[in-house]
Structure 1
Amino acid sequence: MNTTGVLMPLPVLIPLVAAAFTLIAGRRPRLQRLIALAALSGVLVVCVALLYLTDRDGTQALHVGGWGPTDAGLGPLGITLVADRLSALMLVVSAIVLLAVVFYAIGQGIRDGDERQPVSIFLPTYLVLSAGVCTAFLAGDLFNLYVGFEVLLSASFVLLTIGASKERVRAGISYVMVSMVSSLIFLIGLALIYATTGTLNMAELSLRLQEVTTGTRSAIFAVLLVAFGIKAAVFPLSAWLPDSYPTAPAPVTAVFAGLLTKVGVYAIIRAHSLLFPAGRLDDVLLVAALLTMLVGILGAIAQSDIKRLLSFTLISHIGYMVFGIALSSRLGMSGAIYYVAHHIIVQTTLFLVVGLIERQAGASTLRRLGGLAAASPLLAFVFMVPALNLGGIPPFSGFIGKVALLEAGTANGSVLAWLLVAGSVVTSLLTLYVVARVWTKAFWRARVDAPEGALADSAPSVLLDDYSDDVAFDDRGDVGRMPVGMLVPTMALIAVGLVLTVAAGPIIGYTDRAADEVLDRGQYITAVLGSHR
């Protein structure tokens, strides 16, 4: 077994083992935190090593237990893990976000605040979520991808409803129902695929689906797109997201917004490029991408709460990624991959900044905020940089990613592609308007000019109780001070976003190679099936 094969299971195994130890250490919070930080740091190191090795050696596959393809013509019978440039990049970006968010959560003061808030289960559940995310990115068969989805969704149910407030339970019920529908549709898709081809291994499927009639292939692809579209929050399957994410604590909302929808986008990339490469539903995806952009950003304009506003911008920018995928070109796929990495970092950073705003001012609604730039210039800075990045202001990575997608759209030249180019520009301008609106109302104007500013000033502790959740502050009277443990990971993610800008040339070069690898199915098939193809 080569080095890549040794490392490949570790992003899944390390968090799961650490979750067991943190659960045992439930009454020793300092030990819990140490285990969680060490485990996620180890995952990051392993993922960086996988990134280097896959870029050097190409796609690598591991047949767990040695149950690989046989000379008798049978494909892999067990679990297959596959690491290529795309999955390695997703693992690295995810590991960065997971580590930063758990550091932030610890800095915010997660502890057993009272008997109603069992936050000692936060870290074990968070680690299980991390394992689920990594499983999904490494899965070489559709059933293991389904398992990865279910692991991360099961953990997300706990994180979303932790503390059991009315708002959380209401949002959790909605989230559970939508997720169950998505999972059921995915299972139906798996049943259809297995009944049609006799396998769920993606490398084998890419060969056997060529022998299936066009209508059957399109029908199966449509079923999978619905399942993955719900998970990725693609319009019209995105209505659940703005009502689910904003109710959670800032660390939970940040990791949900940054990562969970991108797992759905990753699944769409795999299905579109590896299993159904003919592009028969590309026009449908282009229309969905345009509507996702426009409906999402128009929803953001109508919001007064920053968390809900950012949830709608999250939906909107999923459209950019689907746009790049649906172009079925090297330029489009490379732009989509770069934009996924950019958006994971920037969206996570902005939700962490919202947590800082709540800590500084006691609220996240624009009706109660004002004067934050004067009260805390540092907070103004940590908001402005990722906000401008999200809006696509040059030279930030958001601008670079959008330019790459616009170039791919113009190179395509179809009417739909040009409509997407126009829609992308309009969405970018409206995104800039949305973040500028947050800046002028929350940071620039005086707090006394806010409609409910006087209420916020007179009762900060009440506001904290209204908006605070299961995450207990070490000192609830300490409103106005932002702990170093919250600032450091936020600044670290801002720095990562700037690295995506400064090192855009090498990173775009990497995403170009990743796009070539994704679109050239032969590399994936050879890595998994070898000489038995």
Structure 2
Amino acid sequence: MSWLDTVLSAPTLVPLPVLVPLFAAGLTLALHRYANVQRVISVVALAVSTAASAGLVLAADSGPVVVDLGGWAAPVGIALVADRLAALMLTVSGVMLLCVLLYSLGQGVPEGEAEPAQELSVDEARVGGAIPVAIFHPTYLVLAAGVSNAFLTGDLFNLYVGFEILLAASAVLLTLGGTAERVRAGSVYLIVALASSVLFLAAIALVYAATGTVNMAQLAVRLPEIDDTVRVALQLLLLLAFGIKAAVFPLSFWLPDSYPTAPAPVTAVFAGLLTKVGVYSILRTQTLIFPDSPAVDQVLMVVALATMVIGILGAVAQNDVKRLLSFTLVSHIGFMVFGVALASEAGTAAAIFYVVHHISVQTALFLVVGLVEWRGGSTSLDRLGGLARIAPVLAVLFFVPAINLAGIPPLSGFLGKVGLLTEGVRTGTPLAWILVVGSVVTSLLTLYAVVKAWNKAFWQTAPPDLPEHAPLPRTMVWPAGALVAFGVSLTVVAGPLYAYAERSAATTMDGVTYVDAVYPGGSDRGTGQSVEVTEESTGEEES
């Protein structure tokens, strides 16, 4: 095997989405005085990471690709596991992170290269403050590494580490610029995130006390053999921690006030990706570690319904487009939780497809809203108008992902919702039927909310204080347009993508493939051997 074959082999690709951004973060921090060099390093690092993730999508279709860090095999060491679900999430998040980074290059004003104060203040008024590039690039790359680590990890404690990396990076990004409003929003976000981290850490400690391991594959073997009450308590504690991060109702109170204050690229990353890490964690633990829990699934259905309905009612009441989209973000998390709560392959496949759709569409919308703020000087719908006439390209860029979010056929949002509704009807329980009705109502109200925003921002008469005409920066328009096109492309490739989501759901729900890949022979260890296995593994871990 040549050195090139070795470099491009699947096991070599697995750690790259974590290691490359981390290495690049250190490099950009060391070169903080050279803004242009920082830009090049960041773009190359995320491009390499995304390419590696795309390679893993192909490799994982033949089975999970496992890398034991440091050469220590599971359950003693930490395993990075690229199965179909993880590889798909890595690739979509990589595309999103790269597009947002390219968009941010047109918005930020590099430190040490600022324009005259008066001219800079005009830009700040349009985009909510310039991005301090020397801080932004290393922090953004650390965020990318944390996201990749969360998707790839094979044990709960390393998932906690991924969340803490996200917390540290997101707190910095949220407060960029140091305005009072951003610091206030960042403080709320930090307190809530720390609370969820404490809950998660406590859950990990209790899981280890009950089972002697935090390796997910080994937990799938051991948890069914502990007391039912203890197992449900551990499950609910993990769901509580992940629910805060995913912003499910009633744990979503922090999101609408935190996200809209940040610069457009930061808001787009947070809205499109960070909550999906929480959803991914719920999906992974519910299918692998707690696969048979009908009572908890019923609770998740109620949570999904409340998240949908309360979130979209909040969106309808908003008169600021950023806050409106923040509430729709909360609402559509409910669709994903609905798919998980159905606890079936079809429901899980629909949830996976919907997560991919929502990452691209929600991120694109927030980037476009950043352009709306640039051109109109505000995101308040009362202070906008006439943008369809003076910026027709911007009107198209907003309209396409907006109707996709609402689920207009034949776009990907419609296809994902049809999958969820079909499985809900097939399930046939009263609660499933209520969720089906709630999903339809939520979709209609989403359409109403985005049409209201469209009419006010683009069709109503322009206010007299609308800023004078200024061309939209191409360096911001092209990445936003690319992400809008990516969202549309999900409709074009919906057949193969949905088929991949179905295969992902099959292996995710099965669990045996994952367990045997990470913990060879683990799925064959029955009740009679459980005590011996536990003692052996615990002894290894202690040594």
The TM-score normalised by the length of structure 1 is: 0.92
* Residue of structure 2 equivalent to 1:365: 380
CA–CA distance in structure 1, aligned partners of residues 137 and 236 of structure 2: 37
How far apart are the structure 2 equivalents of 1:218 and 1:498?
Answer: 41
Q: Distance in 2 between matches of 1:183 and 1:148?
A: 11
Is 1:264 equivalent to 2:263 in the alignment? no
Distance, in Å, in 1 between the alignment partners of 2:448 and 2:94 is 31
Q: Tell me which residue corresponds to 2:535.
A: none
1:62 to 64, 67, 75: 67
Cross-structure match for 2:244: 230
Picking from 496, 513, 518, the partner of 1:528 is: 518
Q: Displacement of 1:111 after TM fit?
A: 1.8
Deviation at 1:359, TM superposition (A): 1.1
CA contact (8 A) 1:119 1:162 kept: no
For residues 12-161 of structure 1, the aligned pairs below 5 Å read 12-55=18-61, 57-69=62-74, 76-112=75-111, 113=114, 118-161=132-175
What is the CA deviation profile of residues 105-152 of structure 1, one whole-angstrom value per residue up to 9, with x for unaligned ones? 002234224899743110000000000000000010000000000001
> How does 1:15-414 map onto structure 2 within 5 Å?
15-55=21-61, 57-69=62-74, 76-112=75-111, 113=114, 118-279=132-293, 280-414=295-429
Deviations 1:174-220 (A, max 9, x none): 00000000000001100110000010000000101011111111000
Structure 1 counterpart of 2:188, which letter? S
The structure-2 alpha-carbon separation of the partners of 1:19 and 1:388, relative to structure 1 and needing over 3 Å to count, comes to same
SS in 2 for 1:61: strand
2:469 and 2:68 map into 1 onto residues whose CA distance is 53
Q: Deviations over 1:57-81 (max 9, x none)?
A: 2112111111114xxxxxx212110
1:81–1:138 Cα contact (<8 Å) kept: yes
Contact 2:108–2:131 (CA<8 Å) still a contact in 1? no
Residue 431 (1) aligns with residue 446 (2): yes
User: 2:457 is matched with which residue?
Assistant: 442
Aligned to 2:541: none
Aligned to 1:513: 503
Q: Deviations over 1:19-40 (max 9, x none)?
A: 1111111111110000000000
- C-alpha contact (below 8 Å) 1:137/1:266 kept by paired residues: yes
Q: Secondary structure at the match of 1:442?
A: helix
1:494 is aligned with what amino acid? V
Deviates more, 1:379-388 or 1:115-124: 115-124
The answer (yes or no) to whether the contact 1:171–1:243 under 8 Å persists in 2 is yes
Task: State the secondary structure of the residue aligned to 1:62.
Answer: strand
Indicate the SS of the match to 2:248: coil
* Aligned residue number for residue 474 of structure 1: none
In structure 2, how many angstroms separate the alpha carbons of the residues matched to 1:232 and 1:154?
A: 17
Whether the 8 Å contact between 2:105 and 2:475 is mirrored in structure 1 is yes
Shift of 1:228: 0.2
State the match for 2:478 in structure 1.
488
Deviations 1:439-498 (A, max 9, x none): 111101111xxxxx33x33xx4xxxxxxxxxxxxxxxxx963211111111111111111
Cα deviation, residue 162, structure 1:
1.0
Secondary structure of 1:82 counterpart: strand
Residues in 1 aligned to 2:328 and 2:351: alpha-carbon distance in whole angstroms = 17
Contact 1:107–1:485 (Cα < 8 Å) also in 2: yes
Q: Which runs of 5+ in 1 are unaligned?
A: 70-75, 448-452, 461-477
User: Are the counterparts in 2 of residues 90 and 137 from structure 1 also a CA contact under 8 Å?
Assistant: yes
CA distance, structure 1, for counterparts of residue 27 and residue 224 of structure 2:
46
Q: Residue 281 of structure 1 aligns to a residue in which SS? A: helix
Identical-pair percentage: 57
Tell me which amino acid in the other structure corresponds to 2:419.
A
Contact 1:13 1:131 in 2 (8 A): yes
Instruction: Tell me, yes or no, if the aligned pair for 2:321 and 2:369 is still in contact at 8 Å.
Output: yes
- Distance in structure 1 (CA, Å) of the matches to 2:10 and 2:250: 40
Where in structure 2 are there 5+ consecutive unaligned residues?
A: 1-5, 118-129, 526-543
Equivalent residue of 2:381, what SS? Answer: coil
Between Structure 1 and Structure 2, how many residues are aligned? Answer: 501
- Which amino acid in structure 2 is aligned with residue 26 of structure 1? H
Q: How many angstroms apart in 2 are the aligned matches of 1:304 and 1:25?
A: 42
CA contact (8 A) 1:359 1:479 kept: no
Structure 1 residue 6, shift from structure 2 partner: 1.0
Please tell me the root mean square deviation across aligned C-alpha atoms, in Å. Answer: 1.4
Q: 1:40 is aligned with what amino acid?
A: L
Question: Does the aligned pair in 2 maintain the 1:361–1:480 contact within 8 Å?
Answer: no
Contact 2:108/2:133, CA 8 A, preserved across alignment: no
Partner of 2:124: none
- The separation in 2 between residues aligned to 1:54 and 1:445, in whole angstroms, is 50
* Secondary structure class of the residue paired with 1:58: coil
CA displacement at 1:47 relative to structure 2: 0.3
Aligned-partner Cα distance in 2 for 1:248–1:108: 13
TM-score scaled by structure 2?
0.91
**Aligned amino acid, residue 358 of structure 2:** H
2:230 aligned counterpart, secondary structure: helix
Deviations 1:385-422 (A, max 9, x none): 00010010011100000000001101100000000000
